[in-house]
Structure 1
């Protein structure tokens, strides 16, 4: 019998309206790093927004990667657990291997316009079943255990199935 192994993506958007301390630190530090890194790409001081830099400055796309360095310490604090996504028992259960940081919008003069996204990619999960609007999943292990621990969760906004693979 074939199983489906899925990888989920959770897109966490952070801007000045976020209230959790972790989100605020990510916002503040990524904005400070953006301002610092933008100086190199905007030496004539003609652009103030990230969008203007993307349109007018060669290689400004690298700012996504360069600014991401400012948040790696905060990602380590998560201990490999994706924030905000809970199972039906209210527990965080999704683990991640990879992430992609993205600047959505920013203005070097206005921190309230700074908006970023962190896309978390889960470790592989076995998708066992769909029960009403809930997915029944377990951590993917190559072993042939008879009993596996599962999580039941509702797919919430900003969570999607990123990849799927059939295995035997």
Structure 2
């Protein structure tokens, strides 16, 4: 029995500042539409940290520094691949904010975040970004029903 499996690696980053603002993206992709944080796929042979720096730049125009790995989201795809989202956060950035084809990016006060239509399960992911005691959002099938668990 093989211990290996196919996997897809992606990332997401919460960029924030000292004034209580967080950077969000209103995603246009109908498969996962709504407000979330910027991020994307890890390229073959690319470091995880570099991939999140690249993705944030491509989607926001900002160059982030010192992204801190703070958690993970994982689930099985319909093709039986393990889909892994590496969750990062940082308050070190520079550049000029600009939106991309992925969606409009803008700053919001953290306290106002729930005034927006959030992407599916983003609220659960937010708990990982903001907690020191939760590091994983895990999806699994239990009695033929997809369940999620924060660990």
Q: TM-score category by the smaller chain?
A: 0.3 to 0.5
TM-score after normalising by structure 2: 0.32
More strand by share: 2
Q: Compare relative contact order (CA 8 Å, sep 6+) and give the higher one, 1 or 2.
A: 1
More helix by share: 1
User: Computing the radius of gyration over CA atoms, which structure comes out larger, 1 or 2?
Assistant: 1
TM-score after normalising by structure 1: 0.30
